[in-house]
Chains A and B, each alone.
Chain A
Amino acid sequence: MAGRTLAGLLEASAVRYPQRLSVVDSENLTLTYAELDKQANALARFLLGHGVRRGDRVGVALPKGLPAVVSIFGIMKAGAAYVPIDISAPMDRSRRILEECRISALIADTASLALRHMSCGGSVPAVVVNPPEGQTEGVSFHEIVAGDGERAPVEPVGDDLAYIIYTSGSTGMPKGAMITHANALSFIDWCTETFAPTPDDRFSNHAPFHFDYSVLDLYVSIKHGATVYLISEDLARRPRDMVRFIARHRLTVWSSTPSALTMIVQFGELEASDASSLRLVTFGGEVFPPRHLRSLQRHWKSAEYFNLYGPTEITTACTFARIPSNVPENRESPYPIGFACAHCRTLVLDESGREVAEGGEGLLYISGPSVFAGYWNRPAETAAAFLDRSGTRWYNTGDVVRWDPAEGFTYVGRKDRMVKRRGYRIELGEIEQALHLHAGVREAAVVAIPDADAGLRIVACVSCGNDRPSVVELKSFCATKVPAYMVPDRFVFRDKLPRTSSDKVDYQTLGQVAEARER
């Protein structure tokens, strides 16, 4: 089993189902399994010919589309790990990511090609998707993938890194979770057991590739010879068109964050489209408000529903809950995150390190083959993320849960300052670091408060000099420093921030101020 890899899943399906469709994009462009495999081989050969070696990292800064999928597989076939970049995030943040993990090649579209100059001395080989006429920089993706499609002579193993996904870091610098092929495969194999996919399934892919929910869509589909339908960034902003997309392609599996589904419920005109093809809906990354879930189920009646829970560090999901297909009218509390997936073990410890009894609360720890290899280049943070207990390495999720034998785990909250919004992890400290860079900001503190519709609102409390910047100015400034999902929803201005007796920012009072303002 040491040789099993994510690229191997594609290779096996390409042998078995060469003429079936592997990927379809939002513009209806398609690749068969044979085409995807051949193009990825050609790209792997190019990368190997340009200095990429097994164990290297290669950045992918592309919009959702067929070239992004070919790139991911091509990089893995070269034995390297892909580092997916959020092309909507500020370039400077992406530059720091690419520099930190020292990429040895970059695959980008013209809009993101500037990242090459900004990072790694501007010298790494670049593959460019859709270069405009006359552009001389980099090598054209389309020319490369038309080349020799023979399999490259590289044999990655299960313990090699498959990808590095960066998540928000409290000090202002994102940190990269390193996931091996074996990590990802243990989760994918669990999906096989639990969801029983077939070659006739048509998977949606809503999550961007820098969000590890995409691992489910992409690799489970490819493993089973099914077809994955890519939802472009533009389409993801169009709930009505997404609903039509599901009907037109008769999708059978849908996975996304509850926020995306809430948007679909509110603006998708569900009554106008046929979604009877859907057999499975999974959601995760945040709480799904029951009233929106009920509305969804009134229209999407044929599907089985699953709530998935898990940080990037344990590859997409480590606990799951089956949700009844008729959420009762009187249910107001969100559904629990459920029970450990079969490939994971769980442990809940109270503050003194004792296992909690039924009904008790404590920190959730996970062990098993899907637990990540560590943070790239961060030995101290990696060590701090684990607990060694009776010979087993346990990952500390930082999430406080309550244990109930009937419902499983219920998410309670966190002890630190990380929150989840639209499935993305946000360290509130990273937003504060960004605000502090603004010349007009003297002090900044950021809190997250619950919101019935949005799930969570991010409120920045700011003290400024006499010339206070407008909210428009501050939001625009934040958008140049952090991704859009981290830009605060609301701003509260104070002459001074409240402080505790030990002169620390009094977040408890700030939270109350922010909540009072929302009412």
Chain B
Amino acid sequence: MQDTKETIRQFILVSQLPGESPDSLRDDTPLQTSGILDSLATVGLVSFIEKHFGVELDVYDTSVEHFDSIDDIAATILRKRAASRT
């Protein structure tokens, strides 16, 4: 779980927040509602996660309610992976 979060954090830092200290991007920092990820950046993150973690995210998974923080996103990935195993 922690690895998943770090992978997401690094992707966002490198693509959206170059030069920013990793400490300022906490697990619960809002991403979409805060303006850190705009619509194009969100689509880029979704695409990265689908490729990197081998999951397919639908509208529900990427809605603001389930995709607005590193915590949310990691939980969504975990849920999708669990669902694909059953």
Contacts and interface: CB of A to CB of B under 8 A. Distances in A.
Contacts of A490: 18
A263 interface: yes
A471, A473, A490: most-surrounded residue (chain B CB, <10 A): A471
Contacts of B19: 471
Contacts of A235: 59
Interface string B35-72: 11011101110110000000000110011000000000
Interface in A199-247: 234-239, 241
Given A239-B43, A470-B24, A476 B62 contact: no
B7 interface: no
Contacts of A263: 39-40, 43
Contacts of B2: none
A235 B36 CA distance: 20
A485 interface: yes
Contacts of A484: 35, 38-39
Given A237-B43, A263-B40, A454-B40, A472 B59 contact: no
B35 A471 contact: no
Contacts of A234: 59, 63
B34 A476 contact: yes
A479 B42 contact: no
A267 B42 CA distance: 11
Contact of B40 (A259, A471, A478): A259
B17 A267 contact: no
A241 B43 CA distance: 12
Contacts, number: 62
Contacts of B36: 472, 475-476
Interface residues of A, number: 26
A178 interface: no
Interface in A446-493: 454, 470-473, 475-476, 478-479, 484-485, 487, 489-490
B75 interface: no
A263 B58 CA distance: 17
Given A259-B40, A454-B40, A485-B38, A471 B59 contact: no
Contacts of A489: 16, 38
A241, A259, A470, A473: most-surrounded residue (chain B CB, <10 A): A470
Given A235-B59, A238-B62, A263-B43, A472 B38 contact: no
A333 B77 CA distance: 41
Main SS class of interface, A: helix
B20 interface: yes
A39 B44 CA distance: 40
Contacts of A476: 29-30, 34-36
Contacts of B39: 236-237, 263, 484
A238 B62 CA distance: 9
A475 B18 CA distance: 13
Contacts of A266: 43, 47
Contacts of A473: 24
Nearest to A454: B40
Contact of B25 (A237, A238, A472, A479): A472
A479 B33 contact: yes
B43 A471 contact: no
A517 to B, nearest CB: 9
A479 B21 contact: no
Contact of A472 (B24, B33, B46, B58): B24
Interface in A246-266: 259, 262-263, 266
Contact of A478 (B20, B30, B35, B42): B35
B63 A267 contact: no
A267 B21 CA distance: 29
A471 B20 contact: yes
A423 to B, nearest CB: 12
Interface in A264-285: 266-267
B34 A237 contact: no
A262 B36 CA distance: 20
Nearest to A238: B59
B35 A267 contact: no
Given A470-B24, A472-B29, A479 B59 contact: no
A236, A237, A262, A470: most-surrounded residue (chain B CB, <10 A): A237
Contacts of B47: 266-267
A485 B59 CA distance: 21
Given A470-B20, A470-B21, A470-B24, A475 B43 contact: no
A236 B40 CA distance: 10
Given A235-B59, A239-B43, A484-B35, 7 more contacts: A238-B59, A267-B44, A473-B24, A475-B35, A476-B29, A476-B34, A489-B38
23 contacts: A234-B63, A238-B43, A238-B59, A262-B40, A263-B40, A266-B43, A266-B47, A267-B43, A454-B40, A470-B21, A470-B24, A471-B17, A472-B24, A472-B25, A472-B34, A475-B34, A475-B35, A475-B36, A476-B29, A476-B34, A484-B39, A487-B35, A489-B38
Pairs of residues from A and B, 9 with the lowest C-beta to C-beta distance, nearest first: A479-B35, A487-B35, A470-B24, A476-B34, A472-B24, A471-B20, A475-B35, A234-B59, A475-B36
